Structures are given as structure tokens and as C-alpha cells.
Structure 1
């Protein structure tokens, strides 16, 4: 009996020694939280440092580009547009025109203008693409304006049929239904659109250069602009199936052709028949 009590007390002692203290569970939870929290803090601080470095590098690059653009602007544009881009009697203010206007005007050679006239004429481009981007960045820093378009709208892979409809409604009265251009008043004209890059077509709609109205994204949505570009590029790749295009200038040029050559041929045949009968 004594041995039985001894073995029972020994089992109870082992049971007491094997029981986990309530503080142990609490300690494990605290250690787990500290470990997880420390790892998360380390990760987020590293990510923040990386993103901060990237943002700082981007800001430095942008500011460097703006500074370079300002130098180019002061040397080539300030005589007409003023040092601050606020404009003079010789040139309008550029505050708020945005990067898209600069990329179009300088990228097509219209600016710097060779001389004052009804409108700036297209000529060979005088600057590299890097310089144009720098000037665009500087002018964009003067005031909020249209940015350069996203490349996804410049691929000419939209709806050509819808683009043709939009072009006829909004553009054909000046540029001709085939984009061949046309004369306006006071020595002005709508230029032909054949060979114009997709980017410059989009920027022209966005900024309204020369005598062209502005078609912002509320008037013609970005995808609709892409459809118009698709239509114009379709015309470039697919020649007219109707024979001689005669410049695609429409009924005026066609009527003139008939008047000169058609009527001239009739007169020549009449004279020949008369001469033969005599």
C-alpha cells in the first residue's frame, strides 16, 4: 500500500513538472509578434527607401531636362515668346499650351518660324528628339496643358470605318475627305495629311495649331482620335481604285480636268473633221 501511494505521488509530481506555465504561452505570442513586426518593418523600410531613391532620381532627371529645355528655349524661342514664355507682339503666350503643342510645332519644323506670315510653314526640323523633349518639358512646367499622347493610340489599329465617319464630320471641310488639304481664307490653308506621323496628327487634334480648332478629349475621345488616325493611315496604304486621283482635290480639280482636256479634245476633233471634209 505504501508503494502504491509512493507511485501515485511520483506520477503527480511528473504531471506538475510537465504542465506549461500560462506565462509561457504569453511569452511565445509576444516573441512571435515582435519577430513578425520586425521583419515587416524591415521590409517596408527597404521598399520605401528603394521607391524614394527612384522618385528622387526621376525628379532629378526631370529637373535636368527642364533646365536643358529652358536653355534651348531662351536661345531659340524667347525672342518671340519672351523669356518666361508669356508672349510678345511677335508670338503668343505659351503658358498652358502643354508639351503636346511644343512637340507638334517644333517636331514638324514649323517652329521656330522663319518669318511672319498667315501661318507657320512646315520645314526641316532643326532640333533632335532629345532637344524637343527638353523644350516640351520646360514649356509644360510653365503651366498645365495637354501632354504628349500615349503610344497605344498611335498604332493605327482602330476602327477605320468609324474613323472615316468622324473625319468627314469634323475635318473634311478643311482637309478634304481624303486628307489632301485645301485652301482657306487670307492666304491660309489646311495642309495635306499624307505622310504625317500618327503622333503629330493626334497632337494637332489635341492642341489646334494654326487655324485648326481644338478637339479635346470631351469633343473627340482618345479612342476616336485613334480611329481617325487609322482611317488616314488606311488611305496612305490603299491607293484610289478609281484611276487617276488628280490630287484627291475633289470635284473642282475633276471639273477643271474635264473642261480643259475633255472640251479641248472635242474642239480638236471638230477642227480635224472640218479640215478633212474641206
Structure 2
């Protein structure tokens, strides 16, 4: 036989690699080390909490009466804006990408406009959206959509364009229609790239929500950061930043878990190619 064993030299058959036993604690170790470095910097250089609070100062800020409920309310407001905007950008970006990948003339006409819109600094659009749409949730959601939309379109189009020619010929030989080919062949093959777009867009959605809230300080963690900075409550501002980081990381790894659950074959293919 040509292939005598699928196990690489030095590996034990049926036993997981040693590094996998460290896969779970490694993120905790990384977080602990960074928190320790943060605390050491503030302690060694005796930095005032007004400029750089230590982790203990941030925890003390959380313990103040009523602070937990206040941050929970602001976090839920930011989460609402993030999820609504991200969902619209995800679905709309997918539909637009399919249309652009299907009709080349539409792509040539629309892509320069999309690139130009994406090149506009979104921070400059935020005040204008408030003028156009008011002080409610609408301008915040629109800003999130504008930030997340283009990465979703580009990633989905890249995935649709990467379908092997052999699969297209197979679908044609089975007399599949254009939309059957999309549903059965091109979209499933494009799913890994689509998930790349989702993972890129989720942190951008949180950033867009915060940018909108800083320009429209009525609700959300962005407004909490603005108010805390104005009142020189730097530990509270850092606490809001920590919450935003946790929220963004949680959404990111939720999509990673969904990708691993839906696309186990994608990891197998990439492993074989490696």
C-alpha cells in the first residue's frame, strides 16, 4: 500500500496532541498575565487612577451603590443596537453579494459606489445621522449597518467566486438551474468565507454602536464612557471598556462555535490541505 499509516511520525495513534490539553487554560493564563502586567505598571510607576486605574480601582468602581444596575442597563442598550444592526447588515450583505456575484453588469455598476461609501469615515457620518434621524435608536443602528455591511459583501462574494469549476460542471451535468446551483453548491462552498466576514463584522458592530453612542449620548456604554470622562471618573470609563471587550469577545467566539458546529467539513478540508 502507498499510505501505510495516516499518523505522522512521533504521534501516538488515538491520543490527542499534547497542546490540546492546554487549549482551555491558555486563554485564562493570557488574561491573568495581562492583568498582572497592568497592575504592575500602575503600582511600579505609581500612576494616578485619574490617568490609568489599576484592575483593583476598576473593581472598586463596580462596587459602588447602584453601579451594577446602571452598567447592566447601559450594556443592554448597546447590545440591542449591536444585534439589530449586525443582523440587518448580515442579511442585507448576503443578498447584495449574491446579486453582485450573479449579475456581472450589476457588480460593475454597484461596486464603485459601495467602495466609495465604505471609504467615507464613519465617525464623520455619526453627527449627520443624528441630524437626519433624530436622537433615538435609528441613527445608531444605521451606523452599525454601514460599518458591517461592506466586509460581509466582500467576504460572501469571495466565497461565491471560489467555487471549484468541477462542482459547477457537475451541477450543470445534473441539469441544475442557476438558483439550485447556488443553494446546493455555491452557497455551501462559500460558507467558510461567509463566516470570516461574520467574524470580521462582529467587533466592527460593537465599535459602530459605541461611536454612535458617543455622538448621541442618551444611552449605551458609549454614553457612559463620555459621561465618566467628563466627570473624571476614569475607573468607570475603563470598566465600560472592559465590558465592551467582553461583549465583543463573547459574540466573536459565539460565531466561532457556530462555525465549528455547522462546518466540521471545512476544518477537515483545511487540515488536509495543510
Query: Into which bin does the TM-score normalised by the smaller protein fall?
Result: under 0.3
Structure with greater Cα Rg: 1
TM-score between both structures, scaled by the size of structure 1: 0.20
TM-score between both structures, scaled by the size of structure 2: 0.20
Select the structure that is richer in helix: 2
